[in-house]
A and B are shown apart, each in its own frame.
Chain A
Amino acid sequence: MPAIKSLEELKKIREEALQKRDIKSASGRVQIIVGMGTPGIAAGARDTVKEFLNIIEEKHLTDVVVRQTGNFGLDSLEPVVKVTVGDSTTVTYGKVTPYAARLIMEQHILGGVVVQEHVIPS
């Protein structure tokens, strides 16, 4: 695993990204929103977020942004995750365990193929 960078080194990375105009707004190509209401947390949504973050670190993905929101209102399907890749329509996934999170990251976000078995139809 690569060494942890110091705050000084992070500042340099930021400057390089600014110069290369790599910084669009802090929104990134991929948006992942995880429901973190009480039922979400009880169902393990924090560990789902952790898994997305693990993969971001592992594969050094610089264009993925993860956010949390309150309850989506789909309690029995928690953890619920909404994924938007570029300009495509947002896909809402349910029962996203850390295992499913990895599947979604690799198959959908990196591979372009929606993970049908976890999709919540709208």
Chain B
Amino acid sequence: MKEIALHLLDLAENSISAKAKTVRIDVREDFRTNQLTAAVEDDGEGMSDEMVKQVVDPFFTSRTTRKVGLGIPLLKASAEAALGGMKITSKPSAGTRIEATFRHSHIDRMPLGDLPCTFLTLTLAHPEIHWIFTYAYTPPYKGKMRKFEFDDQPLKEAVSGLPLTHPDVLAYLRSTLQDGIAGTRE
């Protein structure tokens, strides 16, 4: 994987396989503490303590056609390469939260990548899921944290019946996400 945003896409797909109805993605770029945090949280089936330990093994997978499941082990390795780590909190029938932290300025820290694009494709391609996205930015020397939050419910209520891939809805969603995230940096 070349971007953290692609790992988030991968984790979100896991949440969907775990029968989640609501999936939340939180990203924080904190230039003051020099930390980048990216997390995906769901209300799906959850995992036992045993499975939480197994999931970081590349030879463990819920797929039946292959013997490898690389998404989570690769993310853990990427986070650790940037002096960060990965934390999984999960409870059967309650859901799972996977959080990866990276030292922001580390030379081996993989780029965050195209976050608006990840959010956009998830919202459109999985309209059955309730998506909540947050992006927070804390400037390096002074100034407060600025946060952008997106919940897809108001949009879905407003256009219910129209496919979300309707070009006008698509344009609205794309620009809301792009401008919202970019707006925290102004």
Contacts and interface: CB of A to CB of B under 8 A. Distances in A.
A10 B126 contact: no
Contact of B66 (A10, A41, A57, A75): A75
Nearest to A47: B117
Contact of B63 (A10, A57, A71): A71
B120 interface: yes
A57 B125 contact: no
Nearest to A30: B165
Given A37-B13, A41-B10, A14 B165 contact: no
Interface in B154-186: 154-155, 158-172, 174-175
**Size class of the contact patch on chain A:** 35 or more
A61 to B, nearest CB: 6
A36 B163 contact: no
A66 B162 CA distance: 13
A108 to B, nearest CB: 17
Contacts of A46: 6, 9, 114, 117-118, 121
Given A4-B175, A18-B161, A60 B167 contact: yes
Interface of B: 1, 6, 9-10, 13, 16-17, 63, 65-66, 69-71, 114, 117-118, 120-122, 124-127, 154-155, 158-172, 174-175
Interface of A: 2, 4-7, 9-11, 13-14, 17-18, 23, 26-28, 34, 36-38, 41-42, 46-47, 49-50, 53, 56-57, 60-62, 64-68, 70-71, 73, 75
